[in-house]
Amino acid sequence: MSLQVQVVSAEREVWTGEATMVLARTLEGEIGILTGHEPMLAVLAAGEVRVDGVGGAAGITAHVDGGFLSVEHDTVLVVAERARVGERA
């Protein structure tokens, strides 16, 4: 089982793919999301969202300027007005 992750900015879909874990910073603190997480809507703080790839595949780090995160049925949606994605080793 893996998570379906989508990073979306106002002007386009920035990144989409599979992941084992998503680490993000919400207004209340860091949150890590694994498969089977309960449905959730969280407001993100400006900062990085870490996405770990499946089976040792390189993950990504998305820089967001706030926005929100939604989780349902192992689908994670990171939505921010501006989002930038960088490769991570």
Q: Contact residues for another protein (CB under 8 A)?
A: 6, 8-13, 26-28, 31, 38-43, 66-68, 70, 72-73, 77, 79, 81-82
Closest CB 13 distance from another protein, rounded Å: 5
Nearest to 17 by CA among 79, 77, 81, 86: 77
Nearest to 63 by CA among 42, 40, 87: 87
Contact 74, 22 (CB under 8 A): no
Closest CB 30 distance from another protein, rounded Å: 12
Q: Smaller CB distance to another protein: residue 1 or 89?
A: 1
